[in-house]
Structure 1
Amino acid sequence: MDFLMSGLAACGACVFTNPLEVVKTRMQLQGELQAPGTYQRHYRNVFHAFFTIGKVDGLAALQKGLAPALLYQFLMNGIRLGTYGLAEAKGYLHTAEGAHSPIRSAAAGALAGVLGAYLGSPIYMVKTHLQAQAASEIAVGHQYKHQLFPPQSWKVALAAAMVSGVVVVLAMTPFDVVSTRLYNQPTDTQGKGLMYRGVLDALLQTARTEGVFGMYKGIGASYFRLGPHTILSLFFWDQLRSLYYAYAK
């Protein structure tokens, strides 16, 4: 039941924050591997991106990829929060003397996050493809036609797992940018070689071509989304648990 409530709570938050995910994805793909000043900036900032997408693609485009995003949130956060809650309920987060262990809590949280991100990776790729789709005048990145589960979906699962694990101790944005680009790069099946050989290669190419600021594209959208999503997820989770335990009695 903890898995179900955790997943539903994350889905509730996702409905409100998915437009920011669309904006973030577009901004991270804008000017990919192009030097600053050499490409047209369709999205100047978070607010301009909202206005541009709504005006050109239509307001419904701000919820692109919502279905796979909900499925991803349900799977990833259901596993992440559910596993952590299960570990807490079983007493694994406490020492033999009964004291709370910060080290065990951190380890359980990181492990649950990596597991959830890895298993949800193929769905995240579909979400990225859908959110990148745009009218030709404001299109950025490679424009995929929707594929349910592209052949390379598990190859970049490690990138998603790295984002989830590294965020505990480091700033997430450069890895988030890289993860988005790895998910959206053309595949060999389309007759084009892959632009990136892996996470490190993507980081190096981005930094070398776009500079340090290129690694922080979409940072505004990322953090505008992160706060509300976290708060809403925990709020819905707490409310669902309260309702469940109230009726269980």
Structure 2
Amino acid sequence: MGDRDWRPFIYGGLASIVAEFGTFPIDTTKTRLQIQGQKIDPRHVELRYSGMVDCFVKTSRQEGVKALYCGIWPAVLRQATYGTIKFGTYYSMKRILAARRADGGAREHLPTNTVCAAASGGLASAIANPTDVLKVRMQVGEEKGSLVRCFVDIYRNEGVRGLWRGVGPTSQRAAVIAAVELPVYDASKRALLPTLGDRPLNHLLSSLLASLGSAVASTPLDVIRTRLMNQRNVKGVAAVGGVRIYKGTVDCLLQTVRSEGGSALYKGFVPTWLRMGPWNIIFFITYEQLKQLY
């Protein structure tokens, strides 16, 4: 492919889409758990679910199994953009920085990998934010109809800003996840190479370690991001469903802690970790296999 190697972008996008299809129902339960129990939002005061399993079972029984995949198409669209940019940019930046070292070496450094990962994650998430908003609205179950109809409704009622609602915490969360997930995976993989070699078992164990670290670091920002994306501000109309409850990331953080306690920032932690684990396993194994095939 010459000087411009597009394979990390293509492999990253394809592997992200495969992983998304395999883990999406877990993401739906996580989103619904994070939304419930908001004492200052009349739409979501009730605690409908006691945990991930209860949410999964009740959603399936009351709304059908199909409801667990509400929002799958904006999620796939998100991964086609977010995953492509994030992983492609990260691996390309690492390769470029390694090639430009004065001593001609290619040994990786954790600080460099962390900066590359955070930059690629934040950039990709900001670009893909509208697809994330669509996904959250459809998962909560209040936006009915197709992906296009949901997009038109948000644009018509909330304008362009509505599509970028929550972009701050979304980008911050993505940067935190990438800054932990990718360097930890690469470091774990290198450490296990002498024992396990460059094989699927190595990829599996490295991805599990990466997912645990990123889940712990990112869940508070994920809760804030989800709540900001789900709130409405329909052209300034102050009514139930149209009230702007949170002014921004810091305000959402403070109000959540004051009204629900600090533990509320880790609502949905179990499904977050349980989703990140399988998601990372599917992604990295798919990515590594694509690298070996082509």
The structure 1 residue matched to 2:128, chosen from 117, 120, 134, is: 120
Match of 1:139 in 2: none
Task: Say whether residues 1:218 and 2:268 are aligned partners.
Answer: yes
Give a deviation string over 1:18-44, Cα, whole Å, max 9, x none: 001100010000111359xx9542211
CA distance in 1, matches of 2:229, 2:78: 14
Q: Which amino acid counterpart does residue 199 of structure 1 have in structure 2?
A: T
Give a deviation string over 1:14-71, Cα, whole Å, max 9, x none: 0111001100010000111359xx9542211111111111100101111111111011
Question: Tell me, what secondary structure is at the counterpart of 2:163?
Answer: coil
How does 1:223-238 map onto structure 2 within 5 Å? 223-238=273-288
Match of 1:163 in 2: 173
CA distance in 1, matches of 2:165, 2:222: 16
C-alpha contact 1:33 1:205 (8 A) present in aligned 2: no
Cα 1:174/1:28, change in 2 over 3 Å: same
Task: Say whether residues 1:43 and 2:49 are aligned partners.
Answer: yes
Question: Tell me, what secondary structure is at the counterpart of 1:90?
Answer: helix
Cα 1:14/1:212, change in 2 over 3 Å: same
CA distance in 2, matches of 1:93, 1:33: 53
C-alpha contact 1:3 1:81 (8 A) present in aligned 2: yes
CA distance in 1, matches of 2:81, 2:122: 12
C-alpha contact 1:93 1:105 (8 A) present in aligned 2: no
Cα deviation, residue 117, structure 1: 0.7
Cα deviation, residue 84, structure 1: 1.4
The structure 2 residue matched to 1:178, chosen from 218, 221, 224, is: 224
C-alpha contact 1:118 1:157 (8 A) present in aligned 2: yes
Larger RCO: 1 or 2 (CA < 8 Å, sep 6+): 1
C-alpha contact 2:94 2:116 (8 A) present in aligned 1: no
C-alpha contact 1:87 1:93 (8 A) present in aligned 2: no
Task: Say whether residues 1:62 and 2:68 are aligned partners.
Answer: yes
Cα deviation, residue 91, structure 1: 4.3
Q: Which amino acid counterpart does residue 114 of structure 1 have in structure 2?
A: G
Instruction: Name stretches of at least 5 consecutive residues in structure 1 with no aligned partner.
Output: 134-142, 245-249
C-alpha contact 1:24 1:221 (8 A) present in aligned 2: yes
Cα deviation, residue 166, structure 1: 3.1
C-alpha contact 1:92 1:104 (8 A) present in aligned 2: no
CA distance in 2, matches of 1:64, 1:155: 20
Instruction: Name stretches of at least 5 consecutive residues in structure 2 with no aligned partner.
Output: 1-6, 181-215
Q: Which amino acid counterpart does residue 164 of structure 1 have in structure 2?
A: A
CA distance in 2, matches of 1:121, 1:101: 30
Match of 1:243 in 2: 293
| Structure having the larger proportion of residues in helix | 2
Number of aligned positions between the proteins: 233
Cα deviation, residue 213, structure 1: 1.8
Question: Tell me, what secondary structure is at the counterpart of 1:23?
Answer: helix
C-alpha contact 1:94 1:100 (8 A) present in aligned 2: no
Cα deviation, residue 105, structure 1: 1.1
Task: Say whether residues 1:147 and 2:157 are aligned partners.
Answer: no
Cα deviation, residue 73, structure 1: 1.3
TM-score, length of structure 2 as denominator length: 0.74
C-alpha contact 1:94 1:104 (8 A) present in aligned 2: no
Identity %: 30
How does 1:183-198 map onto structure 2 within 5 Å? 183-189=229-235, 191=237, 192-198=242-248
CA distance in 2, matches of 1:238, 1:14: 17
**Superposition RMSD on alpha carbons, in Å?**
2.1
CA distance in 2, matches of 1:154, 1:60: 27
